[in-house]
Structure 1
């Protein structure tokens, strides 16, 4: 294990719910300890430049500017945020294109055996589509990471036209996560003084109308109770949404967002933190903070975040750092799950599990070339003995 030191994490919150018998509040109530993860040490990088634990294998499912194997569709540049959707016994992986002016999103459909069945566009005419989030009603929220950026609700099957969800605000959107219990959608903002938002639709399952709210807490707070206040002008003109409510908590570069059983986890890249919002108790805490690490932090460049559908493990992708996806397990171990070699000028994006939880998809946005255009992007699949509850 390289450069793994002691990691301190905060308490998630007393209201965290059980998931497969594991309590997140127990996992983070004490020191999380870097060390050997549940799958052991990483082996040498394979032919695709992916270092994985024993028993796991990788394959390339798409390359930017090239046709997706077995289809006539050309994969988009700069693949970013992604998610998986059940498609009968198979599944669909959707991926954003973080490209100015001609961004959008694409999808790859897989059969039950993991074979690629089709690839196609699901969104066009948008700009710098960074991350997003899946909804319980099987749509993909694709977010524009530009000033006055929009949220576009798209169809992973590519049948229904995409629809702008203006009520979710116009700002530098990053990621989204749905909370089906409280019937809200959480939203991150990629600004140095950004905020954490939630959209409260008038009708759950219909994002056409509702209220945009911002999380409020004392300046600099990292734990404790929080409140929500309505954003007066969600269009962000002439005053940006993040500057309309004086009590809003400022966050340094919001990135990934993932909701699971009562807790919404989100990341901020400017300070390398993973946050935990306990939705039931309406409290905020830190799950990871590299400033609390003795020695070299084990996880840097925190970016996209996802969770396993089989257990309470979190997977955090790095933008830079060691070019790793790190696990934070339910029992408080932080360890690399995979590492890309020879791609130091890239970033890891779009981690997402298929519905059975036995395949993990992700992308290297700029690949081996490191081209800022994202023309060298690579989308991967990892298969192996992912553990159950």
Structure 2
């Protein structure tokens, strides 16, 4: 994103054009309603960590390199996807991913009963907060997994953490195959252990969303090179069966949009298409990665950098972070949000991001996205230059919420870590968000609408 454009967005709220009404109405029937935009300009943080609007404050809950309160080791690095769960007496539990590859300096500590692969460095940690927002505990939720990027919560209040890799045993120093989804119980991690949900497929998982009415699990595949990733659904044998039900197996299918081989070819918000669901030939990817497999006549629909995935209203939203023609995409874009309506089996392009489309649109390369208490969106950027959390109101206005002021570059080459894992407390009064690097978890309070 250009510096000039960032100054515009940081200094004032601006109006978005496009099909936002459908997104926030949860299904497309209502027009956007007018609402006040934003909380004002961002103010420089005297401590150099997080710039926020006037009236907002932050608390650092956890910092990579500090001791875990459990005594299990050190707080791991590369803080990524996250979710907040209600705990007793007004408390909150945060489950936080650590996207550690084999080169990570701060691994998720191995804890007996929670280790999948002793040679993998990723996993999750769990923070417990009291009713006043103070941290009372911090411990390992799962370890020995790899490249834990995003994930999603379940209707039975567990976290599904996703491995964004396809590395197999014997590659990258691993002792076991990777590319799975794992379930983590934030209240009792030992109850879920470290068991891969193999029926959900083995691929570079990014995020998942569970249909709270039918139990279908939707999954995104983050692949930046051709053939690009797929959008999946998993039909569990025991839908909505609670913790452990996803271990009972089911059927994995991939989305086909007839006549659309690459979602990047669709450029107009509001464009809608019927979809078909095609059985995945080999979900285990024993010999061939899934996106390379033969889906028969009609092929399958791909998309570059499929990232965020969440359930809202009557369907599931999923994000394509960007598409680049020079890398083989059908067309360029700086980010898309799609909506799948499972009742009608149709998919619709809702929002287009980026400076090439309109400088008034949200920032480039959207990654993690969540719904805000006012019914709008919070968007974590993963683009170049400064890194922001942007809000988008129900009325379609874009405004800055936070800027990472903790530089990790040099004076000659400034750089800031991306934001990730944005989520709200169950009462909507606190926004939690991670700075990927340096690994930091923030709690932001203020006059949230």
Q: TM-score range by the shorter chain?
A: 0.7 to 0.9
Match in the other structure for 2:149: 130
Q: Could you report, residue by residue, the CA deviation over 1:170-197 in whole angstroms, capped at 9, with x for unpaired residues?
A: 0000111111123211111110310111
Of residues 296, 305, 311, the one that matches 1:259 is 311
Q: How does 1:1-389 map to 2 (within 5 A)?
A: 2-4=7-9, 7-10=16-19, 25-27=29-31, 37-68=37-68, 72=71, 74-88=74-88, 89-100=90-101, 101-147=120-166, 149-157=179-187, 158-160=189-191, 161-192=193-224, 193-204=228-239, 205=241, 206-208=245-247, 209-217=249-257, 218-221=260-263, 222=266, 223-244=272-293, 245=295, 247-271=299-323, 272-290=335-353, 293-295=357-359, 298-308=362-372, 310-321=373-384, 322-343=386-407, 344-367=415-438, 377-387=439-449
Checking the alignment, whether the CA contact within 8 Å between 1:37 and 1:336 is kept in structure 2 is no
Q: Distance in 1 between matches of 2:287 and 2:21?
A: 37
The Cα offsets for residues 313-337 of structure 1, whole Å up to 9 and x where unpaired, read as 1111011343111112222122222
Structure 1 residue 6, shift from structure 2 partner: 6.3
Per-residue deviation at 1:12? 7.1
Larger C-alpha radius of gyration, 1 or 2? 2
C-alpha deviation, 1:297, in angstroms: 5.4
CA contact (8 A) 2:21 2:395 kept: no
Counterpart CA distance in 2 for 1:93 and 1:263 is 25
The runs of 5 or more residues in structure 1 that have no matched partner are: 368-376
Question: Does structure 1 retain, via aligned residues, the 8 Å contact 2:24–2:376?
Answer: no
Of Structure 1 and Structure 2, the greater helix share is in 2
- Closer, same or farther: CA 164–52 of 1 in aligned 2, 3 Å: same
Contact 2:150 2:161 in 1 (8 A): yes
Q: Structure 2 vs 1, CA of residues 8 and 229 (structure 1 numbering), >3 Å: closer, same or farther?
A: farther
Once the two structures are TM-superposed, the CA of residue 295 in structure 1 deviates from its matched residue by 4.3
CA drift of 1:294 comes to: 2.8
- How many residue pairs align between the two structures? 367
For residues 208-229 of structure 1, give each alpha carbon's deviation from its aligned partner in whole angstroms, at most 9, with x where no partner exists: 1111111110223533222222
Distance 1:111 1:364 in 2: 22
- Using the alignment, how far apart are the partners of 2:403 and 2:143 within structure 1? 32
Q: 2: distance between equivalents of 1:25 and 1:41?
A: 33
Measure how far apart 1:142 and its partner are. 0.8
Distance 1:134 1:48, change over 3 A: farther
Higher share in strand: 1
Indicate conservation of the 8 Å contact 1:94/1:108, yes or no: yes
Structure 1: distance between partners of 2:361 and 2:340? 23
Q: Distance in 1 between matches of 2:317 and 2:380?
A: 13
Contact 1:276 1:285 in 2 (8 A): yes
SS of corresponding position for 1:167:
helix
Residues in 2 aligned to 1:9 and 1:286: alpha-carbon distance in whole angstroms: 10
Q: Deviations over 1:277-314 (max 9, x none)?
A: 22333222223223662348541121111113x34211
CA RMSD of aligned residues (A): 2.5
Q: CA deviation at 1:273?
A: 1.7
Q: Is the 8 A contact 2:38 2:391 kept in 1?
A: no
Distance 1:312 1:281 in 2: 24
Task: Say whether the 8 Å CA contact 1:8–1:288 is kept in structure 2.
Answer: no
Deviations 1:61-98 (A, max 9, x none): 11111125x66453111111111111112110011111
Q: TM-score with structure 2 length normalisation?
A: 0.75
Indicate if the aligned counterparts of 1:11 and 1:285 stay in contact, CA closer than 8 A. no
Q: What are the Cα deviations for residues 244-286 of structure 1, in whole angstroms up to 9, with x where unaligned?
A: 3253221111111111111322212223222222233322222
